[in-house]
Chains A and B, each alone.
Chain A
Amino acid sequence: GAGVSQSPSNKVTEKGKDVELRCDPISGHTALYWYRQSLGQGLEFLIYFQGNSAPDKSGLPSDRFSAERTGGSVSTLTIQRTQQEDSAVYLCASRPPGQGPRQPQHFGDGTRLSIL
């Protein structure tokens, strides 16, 4: 079956522009997570969705960052007025319901975002 799909795989944009990153989780996975991987900060949690609601958005670094999920499936992470420090790989992961604690999060290949 298909894994977690993220698009675009690479994005280069100018400082100050808005960007949208997309995540298509594994079919049937109700939990969806966004993480950011950067050289200076390592892997950081951003936000978690259960269905269409976000019980934990504690990792969003500023109000320039927002995310939504529609239909319990696709999620979009939006960064407004991008800054150079937003340059990172943005990883999405999903997890199925009711599988117990041993079930890991399954990751996509990420979107590499570069802010010029």
Chain B
Amino acid sequence: AQKITQTQPGMFVQEKEAVTLDCTYDTSDPSYGLFWYKQPSSGEMIFLIYQGSYDQQNATEGRYSLNFQKARKSANLVISASQLGDSAMYFCAMRDDAGGTSYGKLTFGQGTILTVHP
């Protein structure tokens, strides 16, 4: 069974600073995808970044980057130059791509609440 662990219930960062949100995962499948979503207080889930298990390079999307350490089974999200609008809940999620399909369900971590201080 897949499991995602986010050990930081809450994180605080100063505006314009960088912050790392931790995510570790457990799976026996060699093929999987890792996702980060942002959930502001309004409730919508916003996709941020994706990392495939066979990707050789860490994913980047604007101010978001993913520190993927496959051997350690970690997929930490790095947000650079934090903005007040980054304050939200952040979820790490994994999708099992075994069997060549990428339509599997997402398994989510418990989330980390990020607060950006001015």
Contact = CB atoms under 8 A, between A and B. Distances in A.
A109 B43 CA distance: 6
Interface stretch (B11-19, B44-52, B64-72, B74-82): B44-52
A42 B110 contact: yes
Contacts of B91: 43
A82 B72 CA distance: 42
Contact of B105 (A45, A107, A108): A45
Chain A interface main SS type:
strand
Contacts of B102: 100-101, 103
Interface residues of A, number: 27
A106 B44 CA distance: 10
A75 to B, nearest CB: 15
Interface in A73-116: 89, 91, 93, 95, 100-110, 112
Interface residues of B, number: 23
A35 B93 CA distance: 13
Contacts of B103: 31, 48, 50, 95
Given A101-B97, A104-B35, A107-B44, A33 B105 contact: yes
Given A102-B52, A103-B102, A45 B107 contact: yes
Contacts of B44: 107-110
A28 to B, nearest CB: 15
A16 interface: no
Interface string A55-67: 0100100000000
A59 B43 CA distance: 22
Given A104-B35, A112-B43, 13 more contacts: A33-B105, A35-B106, A42-B110, A44-B108, A45-B106, A50-B103, A89-B43, A95-B103, A103-B102, A104-B47, A107-B44, A108-B44, A109-B44
